[in-house]
Chain A
Amino acid sequence: MNTYLLVDFGSTYTKITAVDIEKERILGRAQAPTTIDTDITIGLNNALSDLVAACGVDVENVQGKYASSSAAGGLKMAAIGLVPALTLEAARRACLGAGAKVVCAYGFEIDEGIVHEIESAKCDIVLLCGGTDGGDKKVIIHNAGQLAGSRIRCPILVAGNRVVTGRVREILEQGGKKVYTTKNVLPNLETVEVEPAQNLIREIFISHITKAKGLDKAQAFIGAPIMPTPKATLQAAALLADGAGNEPGIGSLVVVEVGGATTNIHSVADSSPATPQTVIRGLPELRIRRTVEGDLGIRYNAPTIYDLIGADAFLSRLRAFVPSINGQECDAGQHIKYLSRNVRHVPSSEIGLNVDIVLAESAVSTAVQRHCGTLRQEFSVVGEIMVQHGKNLLSAENLVGTGGIFTYGLHPERILRSALFSPETPWSLKPKAPKAYIDRDYMLYGVGLLAEAFPVQALRIARKYLTPVSL
């Protein structure tokens, strides 16, 4: 037996999956409520005992352990840039691709009011960018001055105009800040270079944040550095799409991850013009892209989704699936409130299960729309031409659903269908005809955790355990 434990300290549940790397098999999984407020290892031990009960794994004699965490709010970052569509966008991409949540983002000069906002957002890292190399110096120096005089205590990562990086560091250090510097996220107007910043974010997460978030005890048990959960899923997506060594991947893909508080969309695909006559605008798209919608989650944020759909539309969609509630009094609003207060609720009734589906469908549809690029029409001497902003995912080959609802929910294919291109919104470049898969075993994060040490085995496990569904 060559057993590895893959742990995810989620915001709600601590999940463990045991895998046999040699046989490329999942041995079992278990979960228990996360106990970050008291002692993270309580929840971990509860989950471990469940795991032993479920599959008899000898947890004392495993070969290794890997873990990710989104507990205690996950990795929260503030992004500061100059022009919103340029360095600020590059800064946001750097944060998101590192598995962070961008809790606030600002372009141009920041003032005292914004500094207060950043202070009260309780970020884990502030990413300070602005100016191309040799470009604007004034704004990043001004913003560094504002941060230096603030009460912000988290590390500040500088990835802006190379020419003034030293000066910016000096200003921040004079203000007593912990400063890291790396390469510019936008060295010139045509190159987005987020990897150096992302690598440093990961180092800062390991060296500072794990401890600050009360994860050090977990770290001691695991033995290896803990990574942010979204980063693990993103690594799994990249491995699954591109393959490893001689083991081929399944090609370009979109992963939708529906959670209680957020909906994450990951895509691994090269973006091309939607038609040969299409003109592309905006920063070049990265092959690996992640977006997270902090307002779309089917528990904490159920009321937001409900408001987005509207009470009447919500009820009529629910009726379409549960005809039996026709004519009955159904207080959907009340149920939604209940969900947002009881975030661990797992539905069992027909209505409860269908409410979850309607919520998840809307979350996925909106989140994928925000992730994908758009097309708009312009007129010129040669007739009409199309202008594309953002990433074209029309021809994405695969679509994968992961998250709690895909393990317990009814009709997961219906949720995935809402990620597809729709003739009603032809300007939104969503996938047209992907093959679809469900992560029934909730193991995708684990595949990401294994991706560095055992890429080939991790890939084979992913291919074996993803369930194909027809849309």
Chain B
Amino acid sequence: MEKREANKSVVIGTIGSDCHMIGAWVLQKAFKDAGFTVAFLGAVVPQQEFINAAIEIDADAILVSSMYGMGLLDCEGLRDKCIEAGLKDIILYVGGTVAAPLELERNWPEIERRFREMGFNRAFPNTCTAGEAVQALKNDLGID
């Protein structure tokens, strides 16, 4: 199968019942500044809306923000739904306070493993900067 050509477009939003918008907002600004097309969905975004937006803008990646500690629960099944929706190879990132803060400190490798098991390409703890996220995606897409 031929590799899909990157068109520098991403979907960004905060998943689940989480209304923290600032992290995702900073992220979308960084991606726009780096020349990406961004569908910014804001906060309290269901899985289905991430997928709908990704189909519409033909996104390279879905970047999920989660700040209230329930990221693992909210992200479960997202990869499966992407497959049904025809987005089998889309890149999935998750970042923020993606699990309970204590867990995040003590058990990061385990949390990262669980996200990977769920089909996420990368998971970032809340110490990651927006610039680092942009660079990581550029590396994964094979662009500068």
Which residues of A come within 8 Å of B, CB atoms? 82-83, 85-87, 130-132, 134-138, 186, 188-190, 279, 281-282, 378-382, 385, 387
Contacts and interface: CB of A to CB of B under 8 A. Distances in A.
Contacts of A380: 68-70, 73, 99-100
A330 to B, nearest CB: 48
Nearest to B74: A279
A335 B69 CA distance: 56
Instruction: Say what secondary structure dominates the interface of chain A.
Output: loop
User: What 7 pairs between A and B have smallest CB-CB spacing?
Assistant: A381-B69, A136-B86, A135-B85, A83-B80, A135-B86, A380-B69, A380-B70
Contact of A135 (B76, B84, B97, B103): B84
Contacts of A136: 83-86, 88
Given A132-B85, A188-B48, A279-B73, A381 B100 contact: yes
B28 interface: no
A308 B57 CA distance: 52
Contacts of B48: 188-190
13 contacts: A83-B81, A85-B77, A87-B84, A131-B84, A132-B85, A135-B85, A136-B83, A136-B85, A138-B86, A186-B84, A189-B85, A380-B73, A380-B99
B72 interface: yes
B86 A281 contact: no
A134 B86 CA distance: 8
A387 B80 contact: no
B73 A86 contact: no
Interface of B: 47-48, 51, 55, 68-70, 72-73, 76-77, 80-81, 83-86, 88, 97, 99-101, 103
Nearest to A186: B84
A22 B85 CA distance: 53
Given A281-B76, A387-B73, A189 B83 contact: no
Given A189-B51, A281-B76, A83 B69 contact: no
Nearest to B79: A83
A122 B97 CA distance: 52
Contact of A86 (B70, B76, B81): B81
A131 B83 CA distance: 8
B51 A385 contact: no
B100 A83 contact: no
A347 B105 CA distance: 64
A430 B66 CA distance: 34
Contact of B101 (A188, A381, A387): A381
A137 B86 contact: yes
A188 B47 CA distance: 12
Contacts, number: 67
A387 B74 CA distance: 11
Given A82-B84, A132-B84, A135-B84, 19 more contacts: A83-B81, A86-B84, A87-B84, A135-B86, A136-B83, A136-B84, A136-B85, A189-B48, A189-B84, A189-B85, A279-B73, A282-B77, A379-B100, A380-B69, A380-B73, A380-B99, A381-B68, A385-B73, A387-B73
Contacts of B68: 380-381
Nearest to A190: B48
A467 to B, nearest CB: 44
Given A82-B84, A190-B48, A378 B73 contact: yes
A138 B86 CA distance: 8
Q: Which of B47, B55, B81 has the most chain A CB within a 10 Å cutoff?
A: B81
Contacts of A186: 84
A382 B86 contact: no
Contacts of B103: 379
A85 B78 CA distance: 11
A189 B73 contact: no
A381 to B, nearest CB: 3
Contacts of A87: 84
Nearest to A283: B77
B55 A134 contact: yes
A189 B52 CA distance: 10
Nearest to A279: B73
Contacts of B47: 189
A279 B74 CA distance: 9
A387 B16 CA distance: 14
Nearest to A83: B80
A137 B84 CA distance: 9
Contacts of B77: 85, 281-282
Contacts of A130: 84
A195 B72 CA distance: 34
A4 to B, nearest CB: 45
Contacts of B55: 134-135
A250 to B, nearest CB: 35
A40 to B, nearest CB: 42
A311 to B, nearest CB: 38
A389 B57 CA distance: 32
A85 B84 CA distance: 10
Nearest to B80: A83
B85 A382 contact: no
B61 to A, nearest CB: 18
Nearest to B101: A381
Nearest to B86: A136
B84 A382 contact: no
